[in-house]
Amino acid sequence: MKTKILLVDDETDQETLFRQRFRQSIQNGTYEFVFARDGQQALRILEEQPDIDLLLTDINMPGMDGLTLLEHLPRINPVARTIVLTAYGDVANIRTAMNRGAFDFITKPIDFQDLEATIEKTRQYVRQLRETQELKAVDVVKTRFFNNITHELRSPLSLIVATVDKLMETADVPATQPLTTVRRNARQLLRLINQLIAINQLENRETELVDQVGDLPGFVEQLVELFRPSTDSKNLTLTYQTDLPSGNYRFDADKWEMILSTLLSNAIRFTHTGGISVSLHQTAAGARLTVRDTGIGITAHKLPHVFDRFYEGDNQRIRANDSTGISLALVRELTWRLGGTVDVQSQIEGKGRESGTVFTLELPFQRTSSPDSAASVTGPSVVVDTPALPGSSFAVADEQESHPLVVVVEDNAELREFMVAELSTNYRVRSAANGHDGWILAKEELPSIIITDLMMPRLNGYALTERLKADPVTDHIAVVLLSASGEESSRLKALSLGADDYLTKPFHLGELQLRLRNLLSRQERLRDHYRQQLAQPDSAPPLLTVGDQFLRKLYTLIEQHLDDSTLNVEWLADELAMSRKALYLKVHNLTQLSPVELIRQYRLRKAIDLLRSGHSAAETAYLVGFETPSYFTKVFREFYQQTPTAFIKR
């Protein structure tokens, strides 16, 4: 990168001297020199050429001297730095120049080796300064865009919430489940946007403390009670204890409300059995606020990161339901703004211990005898929605066996239940709330298709896909990954792990239905191919050409025991380390045949080869595992519409 240098000196020979001395650096584009005879001319050049990086200026010049030029420089070009050229021993002027912002100085007569080193040092400094300024400028643009987009999103969301509220309050419009879902999720989006705005204001120091006076323990109790319908709907207990006496307390009610409501919302979301307890106790410095739950807990190595903004934990509590990583970061920022501290302790369920998480906040407050001029606390204003309750995981939506089985794996309860409801008109549907349960369900039921979210607790969509495709028992299952990430790298990773399709959220339900139909059509064509390999006497031997790893192994086992009339499904299932049910589902998914039918058709297909090679019908019957030639002839005639003898004569 070229460095532009302005030399300000009234000695005419200096221009020629510098051009000669720095000729090579000028030619290779390292330096570009501009020249001025005095400070006034230098100011004009600086105003016309704002890309000047460095000034070399004499002090004693006619008209405007170098010291006066230094006074004007920050106004015109705050990034450029100045190296002062001065007579040896001119200590007073050097001191004045440095006080006015000079970066360094060189005494005359000039030692050009020393000057080159000083120029290089100054050049590096200016380059870093410009990079920092550019980053700050980009940050300002991003912040402005962030503020604009969040405020723009607020308006339509507020309109959606208000319209749905009005519809639900209208007597002749029933409060249907779809309307309730729309309102709950619109409010959640609005809360998320408000959290983004709040944390951005806190980081930019735009949030002021608001002095309010009210009954602090009573305020906390009212806020806790607002969440009781939510805990009741999940059969959780909710308790509140305090040793603070009622009275007037000076505190910022809005920030207390935001902190406690965030912690309670998270606790309810992550707790499935047990309950939540809130306590408020007096300390020497103020109050200790504690929120304790019996939820799923946080692993030890993730605890140091729970308050980091946008931290995406690895399929645990942090990432599973607080996907933005905002809410706990907001709690920390608000606590710090109040002059307090926040701590978290947690453990996951293990041998001899129960799971749970405890957030402890030390927050200052003041007792006061009268409200004075401070605003009075009016009570909590947060709107609490009753959480969507998950339907029965693994519940059957439609038991018509003619319909393909689809498994939906999604940790968001409302989205999961919505997809189950929409897909159940065309498919039998099971559901699971995380990748681990989805994997167990896939092994038990062997569905035609699994639709899975990407980011989930316990086992994410990538890991689930990899497991499904690596296991010969489940590798036939088509996998559709749903992700909020539209990045090409995420899609490519999913496809590289074996995913059959990839859709970004929000997805169009009609498009999902079409993609499912395409996948099922592809599976049906493959089933037809495998059936034809077995059924058609003129096709190539199935063992040699089958492309499916599982069928190859199954055919090999049958081939090795082809003449054994006692060969049965139970023995094959044991050899394949599968249950009888799993073997049935796997074979049926691949061929539309039962294992018994597949064994019989394989015997018949091999019988064709033996008959063609000159074996009699009786010999062939025993070689392919039939107990009697007569039974072999009966089965052969039913399948091929002719007897073995007629086939030989054909």
Rounded-to-integer distance, Cα 553 and Cα 132, Å: 63
> 314 pLDDT exceeds 50?
no
Burial class (CB in 10 A: 0-12, 13-18, 19+), 332: buried
Pairing verdict, β 81-87 and 449-453: unpaired
Rounded-to-integer distance, Cα 582 and Cα 466, Å: 20
> 514 pLDDT exceeds 80?
yes
- Average pLDDT rounded to a whole number, residues 107-131: 90
- Dihedral sign of CA atoms 66, 70, 76, 78 in order: positive
| Token output for 246 | 């009622």
Of 159-163, 301-305, 615-619, which has the strongest mean pLDDT? 615-619
Global pTM reads 0.58
Q: How far is CA 136 from CA 178, 196, 299, 647, in A?
A: 45, 20, 36, 86
> 356 pLDDT exceeds 70?
yes
Rounded-to-integer distance, Cα 588 and Cα 550, Å: 12
Per-residue pLDDT tens over the stretch 469-493: 998 889 999 999 998 776 788 888 9
For residue 355, which of 403, 279, 426, 300 has the smallest C-alpha distance? 300
- Contact indicator for 316, 298 with CB cutoff of 8 Å: yes
Q: Phi and psi for 264 in degrees, rounded to 5?
A: -70, -40
Per-residue pLDDT tens over the stretch 406-422: 999 998 887 888 889 88
Q: Cis before residue 506, ω within 30 degrees of 0?
A: yes
- Dihedral sign of CA atoms 398, 399, 401, 402 in order: negative
Under the banding of pLDDT at 50, 70 and 90, the label for residue 316 is: very low
> 88 pLDDT exceeds 90?
no
pLDDT reported for residue 467: 94
Rounded-to-integer distance, Cα 340 and Cα 168, Å: 41
For residue 29, which of 4, 64, 55 has the smallest C-alpha distance? 4
pLDDT reported for residue 217: 92
| Token output for 83 | 């190296």
pLDDT reported for residue 401: 60
> 318 pLDDT exceeds 50?
no
Under the banding of pLDDT at 50, 70 and 90, the label for residue 8 is: very high
In sequence order, the β-bridge partners of residue 83 are 56, 104
Per-residue pLDDT tens over the stretch 529-554: 888 878 777 766 666 667 778 888 88
In sequence order, the β-bridge partners of residue 357 are 293, 346
Higher-confidence residue of 197 and 345: namely 345
* Candidate from 103-112, 239-248, 313-322 with smallest mean pLDDT: 313-322
Name the DSSP letter for residue 322.
Answer: -
> 242 pLDDT exceeds 70?
yes
Host H or E run for residue 429: strand 428-432
Residue-averaged pLDDT of the chain: 84
pLDDT reported for residue 278: 96
Rounded-to-integer distance, Cα 20 and Cα 17, Å: 5
366-367 sheet: strands from edge to edge: 366-367, 249-251, 212-214, 375-376
For residue 309, which of 285, 327, 291 has the smallest C-alpha distance? 327
For residue 643, which of 630, 627, 625 has the smallest C-alpha distance? 630
Host H or E run for residue 114: helix 112-169
Rounded-to-integer distance, Cα 67 and Cα 86, Å: 11
